[in-house]
Chain A
Amino acid sequence: MFEVLEHTADIGFRAWGSTPAELFVHAALALEAIALDTSQAEERYVYPIAAAGEDYETLLVNWLNEVLYYVDGERVVMGRFQIDQISPERVSGKGWGEPRDPARHPPRLVVKGVTYHQLSVKQEGGRWVAQVFLDI
């Protein structure tokens, strides 16, 4: 689904999916898992998420920026995502979760931002693969 990648100062991840929609779901889960422990996240509310971009790469950065804003701005934890519509220019979907509670969702790392550093989204052997680095 995803794996964490090394960077001297920060952290990254590689995510996979059989479709762009699945890839975007897995990338959102990777970001959540790097920021905090989502194992106790309950699906109490549904949060809409939408983003626009010029291509799948900028779209993914903007999508992850939306998820990050929920984590650090709205202080929400999400453990499940769904994509309703996706094209290289636009994505819309939702996430299920609840307001963050440090006791039940212990924080791991404060993610400052999603970067364009060595960013890639491509098709490899019939599946979609993305590489993203986060500023910590």
Chain B
Amino acid sequence: MIEVQTEDGIRFRIPKQESLGMRTDVLVFASPELIEQIRRDLSLRQAVNVATLPGIVGPSLAMPDIHQGYGFPIGGVAATDWEEGVVSPGGVGFDINCGVRLVTTNLEKDEVRPKLRELVNQAFRDIPCGTGGKGRIELRDKELDDVLVKGARWMLEKGFAEERDIECAEEGGRLEGADPTHVSSRAKERGRPQLGTIGSGNHFLEIQYVEKIHHPEAARAMNLHEGQAVVLIHCGSRGLGHQVCTDFLAEMGAAMKRYGISLPDRQLACVPIQSEEGQGYLAAMRASANFAWANRQAILHFLRDSFRRVFGNHVRLATLYDVCHNIAKRERHEVDGKKRDVLVHRKGATRAFPPGHREIPAVYRHIGQPVLIPGSMGTASWILVGAEGAMRETFGSVCHGAGRLMSRTAAKKGRTAKQVEKELEERGVIVRSETKDGILEEIPEAYKDVDEVIEVVHQAGLARKVARLRPMGVIKG
């Protein structure tokens, strides 16, 4: 049993134990209720394992949506020293730059409702989930390499984006230092037909409305009002990123011995950031991240067509913001009073920079970086803004979702997809899924209460609530 200490009922600490190989403490943000749920799976053990990584700076951090992952817990954050520390593909995950884009519309909920079914069906036709077939974009070799280097900017050059879509994405929808030569031909072949597809698992596209504004000033800067229709897109780098992770896990597993690194879990495989393998991984990871930004942009492009077809040409869809929640980034943070360059691994965690940070687009700089938190299918999602506490305590990071509670097999027991569809319709939510299992496995009861997760990060001062969103239509794989 792992001993957890708390003084304030929000910060739960596992002190460093050298017998476990820990180089630092584990710090979990949670509530007394959430920590009991968290204790039921392997997530705390995994957060302890992360604390053994060479060169880790500050504590091994976990957000209130933490649940058991592979190597790293999902909802984990770890910063490693840029010169002396390691990079771990497991700290990013298979779905590199899995993330969220939120899009505002100039439509009200009441205008969308009467045509909701038509809209959901139209978008379901226009945007493939890609579980069985291909996407709609054909890429030649040179074009795919350009996507990997330019990310969402490539879509802008091709006329599939508006300037604002790029300005209002983390990193401008493109990470510097991407190198397609480090992406294997297998990764390219796996990803090539999947640009502009959603994928399966917990990925989805949701038509939602703003239920309640909690921070009027931030909502004004975001052009948000109660009753407004919005769209949330949750997906990542598809097979391209998955294969990059697979390739480098195998390479690093073998390389670790050469660097004299031994770890409690093979899935944590890591190498020094400054090694050839470390730099190779980061170059390939950035290329995958760029593919993911291009992917979310392509989906938005097709979605604009769907909305115009249903509501006419006056409809405007504008990107509010786009965040990644599976990524490792070089950032400068203050640690023990000194500025240090670190590699921040965010595995199921979202960057949350506070007001005034230079990385935030000018329109939002006075309110803080928008943070987008998708809830489970059919419940609620949240918009937050980053706050000062995140810079002090979590390397500018917060949670990324509700966090799973129930296994996929358990979720499927006792109900049919038709029953779940009907229950959701009774709550005013229309669902279309490419697979039957897709609906059953993502039932709302399989997740923690997203409101409770948000309350923790709000109370802890890591981020501030801006708006709660309610779903109307869901498209998923």
- Interfacial residues, chain A to chain B (CB-CB below 8 A): 4-11, 36, 54, 58, 61-62, 65, 69, 72-75, 100, 102, 105-110, 112-117, 119, 133, 135-136
> Once the chains bind, are B407 and A113 in contact (CB under 8 Å)?
no
- A106 near B435: Cβ-Cβ < 8 Å: yes
- Assess the A110–B74 pair: CB atoms within 8 A: no
Report chain B residues within 8 Å CB of A9: 67-69, 74, 404
Are A109 and B201 neighbours in the complex by a CB distance under 8 Å? Answer: yes
Measured CB to CB, the closest approach of chain A to B234, in angstroms, equals 14
Known contacts A9-B74, A116-B253, A116-B266; 6 further A-B pairs (Cβ under 8 A): A65-B246, A115-B267, A116-B249, A116-B269, A119-B266, A135-B94
Contact check, B267 vs A112: say whether CB atoms are below 8 A apart. no
- Among A6, A8, A109, the one with the most B-chain Cβ atoms within 10 Å of its Cβ is A8
A8/B406 contact (C-beta < 8 A), A69-B186, A116-B249, A116-B266 known: yes
Pick out which of these stretches binds chain A: B52-60, B140-148, B237-245, B385-393.
Answer: B237-245
Closest Cβ of chain B to A112, distance in Å, is: 4
Is B408's CB under 8 angstroms from A10's CB?
yes
Q: Which residue of A lies closest to B69 (CB)?
A: A9
| Residue B110 is within 8 A (CB to CB) of chain A in the complex | no
B82-105 contact mask (Cβ, 8 Å, vs A): 1 or 0: 000000000001110000000000
Partner of B94, one of A69, A75, A107, A112: A112
* Distance between Cα atoms of A58 and B266 in the complex (Å): 10
Chain B residue contacts of A58, Cβ below 8 A: 253
Give the distance in Å from the alpha carbon of A116 to the alpha carbon of B253 in the complex: 10
From 104 to 118 in chain B, residues with beta carbon under 8 angstroms from any chain A beta carbon are none
Contact yes or no, B405 A116, CB < 8 A: no
Contact check: which of A75, A110, A114, A136 meets B246 at CB < 8 Å? A114
> What size tier do the contact residues of chain B reach?
35 or more
How distant is A15 from chain B, measured CB to nearest CB, in Å?
16
Question: Chain B contacts of A73 at CB under 8 A?
Answer: 186, 189-190, 239, 243
If A114-B246, A116-B267, A117-B70 touch, does A136 touch B408 (CB 8 Å cutoff)?
yes
Cβ-closest 5 pairs across A and B: A102-B132, A6-B407, A107-B131, A116-B266, A112-B94
**Do residues B132 and A107 form an inter-chain contact, with CB atoms below 8 A?**
yes
Question: Contacts A65-B246, A102-B132 given: A109-B190 contact, CB under 8 Å?
Answer: no
Once the chains bind, are A113 and B94 in contact (CB under 8 Å)?
A: yes
B239–A72 CB distance below 8 A: yes
Give 1 or 0 for each of B59-77: 1 = CB within 8 Å of chain A CB: 0000000011111001000
CB-CB < 8 A to B131: which residues of A? 102, 107, 109-110
Q: Give B residues with C-beta under 8 Å from A.
A: 41, 67-71, 74, 93-95, 130-133, 186, 189-190, 193, 199-201, 239, 242-243, 245-246, 249-250, 253-254, 265-267, 269, 404-410, 434-435, 437, 477
Please, how many angstroms separate the alpha-carbon atoms of A11 and B245 in the complex?
A: 18
- Complex CA–CA separation, A116 to B49 (angstroms): 14
- Give the residues in chain B near A116, CB-CB below 8 Å: 70-71, 249, 253, 265-267, 269
Residues of B within 8 A of A113 (CB): 94, 242, 245-246, 249
Q: How far is the CA of A117 from the CA of B131 in the complex (A)?
A: 24
Cβ-neighbour of B132 out of A54, A100, A119 (below 8 A): A100
Of chain A, the residue at the smallest CB distance from B68 is: A8
Find chain A residues with CB under 8 A from B93 CB. 135
Taking CB atoms, residues of chain A closer than 8 Å to B67 are 8-9
A6 touches B409 (CB 8 A): yes
Given A58-B253, A73-B186, A113-B242, verify A8-B70 contact (CB < 8 Å): no
Chain B residues with Cβ below 8 Å from A136 are 200-201, 408
B13 to chain A, nearest CB (A): 23
Most buried by A among B133, B186, B408: B408
Partner of B70, one of A5, A72, A109, A115: A115
Q: Residues of A contacting B254 with CB < 8 Å? A: 54
Report the minimal beta-carbon distance from A9 to chain B, rounded to whole angstroms.
5
A122 nearest CB across to chain B (Å)? 16
The answer to whether B404 and A8 have CB atoms under 8 Å apart is yes
- Residue contact B70 to A135, C-beta cutoff 8 Å: yes
Shortest CB distance B86–A (Å): 17
Chain B residue contacts of A75, Cβ below 8 A: 193
Q: Provide a sorted-by-A list of 30 A–B residue pairs whose CB atoms are within 8 angstroms.
A: A5-B409, A6-B407, A6-B409, A8-B68, A10-B70, A11-B408, A58-B253, A61-B250, A62-B250, A65-B246, A69-B190, A69-B243, A72-B190, A73-B239, A73-B243, A74-B189, A75-B193, A107-B131, A107-B132, A107-B434, A109-B201, A110-B199, A112-B201, A113-B94, A115-B70, A115-B267, A116-B269, A117-B70, A135-B242, A136-B201
Of all chain A residues, which has the CB nearest B201? A136
